[in-house]
Amino acid sequence: MKPCSQPSVYPSVTHRANPQAPNVVEVEGLRKSYGRTVAVDEVSFSVREGEIFGLIGPNGAGKTTTMECVEGIRQPDGGRISVLGLNPRRDADRLVHRIGVQLQEAQLQKRIKVGEAVDLWASLYAAPVDSAALLDQLGLTAKRGAKFMTLSGGQKQRLFIALALIHDPEIVFLDELTTGLDPQARRTIWELVLGIKQRGKTVFLTTHLMEEAERLCDRVAIIEHGRLIEMGSPAELVRRHCPQREVIFTSTWRGEAAAFEGLGSVTSAVVDDGVFTLGGEGEEFVSEVIEFLAATSIKVRDFRTVLPTLEEVFLKLTGHLIRD
Ligand SMILES: Nc1ncnc2c1ncn2[C@@H]1O[C@H](COP(=O)(O)OP(=O)(O)O)[C@@H](O)[C@H]1O
Ligand SMILES: [Mg+2]
């Protein structure tokens, strides 16, 4: 398979977190084994205030274990973790009011109603947010009286987000939030997660969906077999590991595709039934092609650029697709 050639559905991420923001989570040399299985092996990273940070990797990579150690739910074997300057195990009582947690594969009593669950969760905290407003924000107002078991997968996940937000936490942890949801429900959740960030919260999420990471995350850390193998913004990682770009356009021009190969940044050029596909690298590539088309007065019917995705970064780094 040819790496670095799939179209990116979301080529540009418009939101950017402040790179000067202080770290709200710091993890250094985290280790955790279950018997002989090393789940997390010397993992270090930090999460900045106000960003969406994604721990991404395939099933079994160690994402949930890492996240649960950071939340204080799991006891690490080694390493240092600080969350809002606190130790998640020792200071659990203080931290519980400042972080919101959505667990992978969470369940509720099946007959509990949405409104009852929210009220119950609210009763656990000294200063909960307004539950009606929260349900409204998550599009669950009409489901207030619905039993948990009657909710769709997307509605259940929205309820879990509501429960994680009930005490207005500073950091929200979301573990594989959209796994198993259909594309429509997934998009709704993505909008909600971006909304959480826009209200000034920090989001720490895990996902094995590269499109989700690309869409949501300011920065990602790629984890495989318990080890972090790369870290950075999705765009940085694509630039670093998959600098190839493609320009595809349709034209009635009858010239040779090879004419484009004279341009410095073009590395390949083919034409098939009037569809020209040019491969190239570097900042100048797309402009060079456009300037050549203009200078040669070649008329094009459509024109698009294709950027590599995080999926291809993963493939490049590991030699296999994340779906494997
Ligand atoms: N409670 C557990 N007992 C034994 N092994 C576990 C347990 N939880 C996770 N593991 C193992 O640890 C590794 C990492 O799992 P996990 O952190 O759940 O990864 P991910 O969330 O990336 O899928 C896997 O090999 C998994 O089988
Ligand atoms: Mg997991």
What pLDDT digit, counting tens, does each position of 85-144 carry?
999 999 999 999 999 998 777 789 999 999 999 999 999 998 899 999 999 988 999 999
Q: How far apart are CA 143 and CA 146, in angstroms?
A: 5
Q: Is the CB of 305 under 6 A from ligand 1?
A: no
- The side-by-side arrangement of strands in the sheet containing 37-48 is 37-48, 23-34, 78-83
* Atom 2 of ligand 1, residue of closest alpha carbon: 34
Residue 96 CB partners (closer than 8 Å, separation 6+): none
Residue at 104: amino acid letter: Q
Joined together, the tokens standing for residue 30 give 């985290």
Q: How far apart are CA 318 and CA 324, in angstroms?
A: 11
CATH of 23-234, one of 3.40.50.11290, 3.40.50.300, 3.40.50.720, 3.30.70.580: 3.40.50.300
Residues with CB under 5 A from ligand 2 (ion): 63-64, 104
DSSP state of 210: H
Q: How close is the Cα of 215 to the center of ligand 2, in Å?
A: 20
**Residue 12: per-residue pLDDT:** 38
Q: Tell me the C-alpha to C-alpha distance, in Å, between residue 233 and each of 13, 62, 216.
A: 10, 20, 11
CATH 3.30.70.920 region(s) of the chain? 243-307
**Residue 16: per-residue pLDDT:** 57
Q: Which ligand is nearest to the CA of 39?
A: 1
Query: Which backbone phi and psi does 103 adopt, to 5 degrees?
Result: -90, 145
* Atom 11 of ligand 1, residue of closest alpha carbon: 39
DSSP labels, 33-75: EETTEEEEEEEEEEEETT-EEEEE--TTSSHHHHHHHHHTSS-
* Atom 14 of ligand 1, residue of closest alpha carbon: 62
Least trusted range by pLDDT, from 8-22, 55-69, 101-115: 8-22
Q: How far apart are CA 302 and CA 297, in angstroms?
A: 15
Indicate the average pLDDT of the chain. Answer: 91
Q: Which ligand is nearest to the CA of 176?
A: 2
10 Å Cβ neighbour count for 254?
A: 7
Q: Is the CB of 153 under 6 A from ligand 1?
A: no
Q: Tell me the C-alpha to C-alpha distance, in Å, between residue 168 and each of 47, 100, 189.
A: 19, 8, 18
Q: Tell me the C-alpha to C-alpha distance, in Å, between residue 83 and each of 87, 166, 204.
A: 6, 19, 12
Q: How far apart are CA 99 and CA 88, in angstroms?
A: 10
Report percent pLDDT > 70 for the chain: 94
10 Å Cβ neighbour count for 184?
A: 8
Q: What is the pLDDT of residues 200-239, one digit of tens each?
A: 999 999 999 999 999 999 999 999 999 999 999 999 999 9
Answer for the pair 235, 205: CB distance below 8 angstroms, yes or no: no
Q: How far apart are CA 307 and CA 273, in angstroms?
A: 23
3-class DSSP state of 44: strand
Query: Which backbone phi and psi does 312 adopt, to 5 degrees?
Result: -75, -30
CATH 3.40.50.300 region(s) of the chain? 23-234
Q: How close is the Cα of 43 to the center of ligand 1, in Å?
A: 15
Q: How far apart are CA 272 and CA 93, in angstroms?
A: 65
Mutate to test the pocket of ligand 1, among 32, 33, 37, 228 (most ligand atoms within 8 A of CB): 37
Q: What is the pLDDT of residues 243-298, one digit of tens each?
A: 999 999 999 999 889 999 999 999 999 999 999 999 999 889 999 999 999 999 99
1: pLDDT strictly greater than 50: no
Q: Is the CB of 221 under 6 A from ligand 1?
A: no
Least trusted range by pLDDT, from 177-186, 224-233, 305-314: 177-186
Joined together, the tokens standing for residue 193 give 């997660």
Pick from 212, 209, 207, 179: nearest CA to 321: 209
**Residue 3: per-residue pLDDT:** 46
Q: Is the CB of 63 under 6 A from ligand 1?
A: yes
Q: Is the CB of 65 under 6 A from ligand 1?
A: yes
Q: Is the CB of 62 under 6 A from ligand 1?
A: yes
Residue 216 CB partners (closer than 8 Å, separation 6+): 52, 54, 190, 193, 194, 203, 205
CATH code reported for the domain at 243-307: 3.30.70.920
* Atom 27 of ligand 1, residue of closest alpha carbon: 60
pTM summary value = 0.89
Q: How far apart are CA 52 and CA 273, in angstroms?
A: 44
Joined together, the tokens standing for residue 133 give 């407003």
